[in-house]
C-alpha cells in the first residue's frame, strides 16, 4: 500500500510550485502554508513534505518560522528539506518540529558530514534527497548538475545505512506529465530494502495507482492536488 505524502514548497513564506525547478516559473497557491497544512490534515493525511525553496537557493534554512507554524498547529509527521548545509541548520529543523529531515546537496558535497548525521540522529530521521536530471544527481536547489550517476550514489549511502530516499525526476517536477515510474522501478529493483519516495510529475489518481502496482513505497504530490487533478477522497478511500 503506497504512502501518500502531500507537499508544500515555500518561497517568501508562501506555498508555491515551480516547473522543472525553475524559480522564474512559480505559481503561488496559498499565502499561508500553515493553513494549507491544516487542510491536508483535515482531509485525513498523516504525512507532509515541506521544502524551503528559499533555503535551497540560499544554502541555509530561511523559512524555519513557517516550519514551526506548521508543526505547532498540526499533528502531521513533517519531513523538511531545503538549505540544510550545517549542523546548525539540521538542529534548527528538528527544533522547529521536523520529524525527519531531507538532505541532498550535502550528501554530494560533504559525504562525511552527512554520514555523521546518520550516526548522530539515526537513519530513521534522515531522508537522502536524490534529485536527478538526465541520470545525474543535481544539487543546490537543482541549480547545479553533477557528474554523479544516481545508482552508484545510492549504493554508497545504502552501505552507510540510509533507509529513506526521496527521488525527484527534475524534468517532470511540476509538469503534470506523469511520474518517472521506470526510474523508480529501477531503483527499487537495485535496492529493494529502501523506503523510496517518488516525486515529480504526478498528474492523476491513476499515476499513483500505477506507482503502487510497481511496488513504490511512497509518493509525494503537490501541483496535482492544488490544481484539482486528483480526487483526494477517492485516493484516501483506496488506501485507507
* Residues identified as active-site: 9, 131
Q: Which contiguous run of DSSP H or E holds residue 91?
A: helix 87-95
The answer to whether residues 99 and 70 touch, using CB atoms and an 8 Å cutoff, is no
Type and span of the H or E element at 198: strand 195-199
Neighbours of 167 (CB within 10 A): 24
Q: Which residues contact 52 (CB under 8 A, 6 or more apart)?
A: 10, 61, 62, 63, 64, 66, 67, 80, 81, 82, 83
Q: Are 21 and 141 in contact (CB under 8 A)?
A: yes
Contact 88, 55 (CB under 8 A): no
How many H helices and E strands in the chain? 11, 12
Amino acid at each position: 500500500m503506497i504512502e501518500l505524502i502531500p507537499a508544500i514548497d515555500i518561497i517568501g513564506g508562501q506555498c508555491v510550485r515551480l516547473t522543472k525547478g525553475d524559480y522564474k516559473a512559480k505559481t503561488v497557491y496559498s499565502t499561508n502554508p500553515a493553513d494549507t497544512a491544516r487542510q491536508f490534515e483535515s482531509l485525513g493525511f498523516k504525512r507532509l513534505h515541506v521544502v524551503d525553496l528559499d533555503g535551497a537557493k540560499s544554502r541555509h534554512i530561511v523559512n524555519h518560522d513557517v516550519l514551526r507554524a506548521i508543526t505547532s498547529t498540526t499533528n502531521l509527521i513533517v519531513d523538511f528539506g531545503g538549505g540544510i548545509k550545517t549542523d546548525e541548520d539540521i538542529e534548527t529543523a528538528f527544533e522547529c518540529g521536523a520529524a525527519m529531515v531531507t538532505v541532498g546537496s550535502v550528501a554530494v558535497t560533504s559525504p562525511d558530514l552527512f554520514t555523521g548525521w546518520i550516526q548522530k540522529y539515526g537513519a530513521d530521521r534522515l531522508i537522502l534527497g536524490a534529485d536527478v536530471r538526465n541520470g545525474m544527481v543535481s544539487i543546490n536547489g537543482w541549480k547545479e548538475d553533477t557528474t554523479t550517476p544516481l545508482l552508484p550514489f545510492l549504493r554508497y549511502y545504502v552501505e552507510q545505512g540510509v533507509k529513506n530516499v526521496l527521488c525527484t525526476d527534475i524534468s517532470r517536477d511540476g509538469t503534470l506529465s506523469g511520474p518517472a515510474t521506470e526510474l523508480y522501478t529501477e531503483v527499487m529493483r537495485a535496492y529493494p530494502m529502501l523506503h523510496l519516495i517518488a516525486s515529480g510529475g504526478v498528474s492523476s489518481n491513476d499515476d499513483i495507482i500505477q506507482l503502487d502496482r510497481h511496488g513504490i513505497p511512497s509518493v509525494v504530490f503537490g501541483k496535482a492536488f492544488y490544481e484539482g487533478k486528483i480526487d483526494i477522497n477517492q485516493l484516501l478511500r483506496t488506501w485507507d
